[in-house]
Amino acid sequence: MDAILVAAGVIVPGSALSFRAVRASGPGGQNVNKVASKVELRVDLGMVDGLPPPARERLRMLAGPRLDADGRLLVTSQRTRDQHRNLEDAREKVRQILGRALQTPRARRATAPTASAREERLREKKRRAARKRARALAERDED
């Protein structure tokens, strides 16, 4: 199988890929019972070349439920009725997942609430307290 070029220096070698064709679910008439057009593509993440350690960690987080017991990424495609096009679609999905793992997330900068936001929060707290106080008084008057 051909290697997948993800980005400059990041390559999934063909030896890290294995695919299996299975019958697709859903409508398709007679064809769905005869043709194995759905593709399951497995990627051995340990064999991906050029992936820096932080990206490798992000990839494990992104892949999450798609990882099998052996730690391989499982990507499926059944978009079309053509096995070859589904294989290309699955390869594109792998490329996208690895591409997202390569993007470093923006650092969160801590911010303080504005003065007006603080004032509004305090006003709302006072309104809520007054409402509850009124309920308590009404309840006591009923008894």
Question: What's the average pLDDT block by block, 10 residues per block, for the chain (143 residues)?
Answer: 85 88 74 79 89 90 87 89 90 92 91 96 98 91 76
Packing angle of the helix pair 83-102, 53-63 (nearest 10 deg): 130
The pTM score is 0.70
Tell me how crowded residue 109 is: count the other CB atoms within 10 A of its CB. 5
The contacts of residue 7 (CB under 8 Å, 6+ apart) are 98, 99, 102
Q: What is the pLDDT of residue 25?
A: 77
Tell me how crowded residue 83 is: count the other CB atoms within 10 A of its CB. 19
* Cα–Cα distance, 87 to 21 (Å, whole number): 9
* Cα–Cα distance, 108 to 45 (Å, whole number): 28
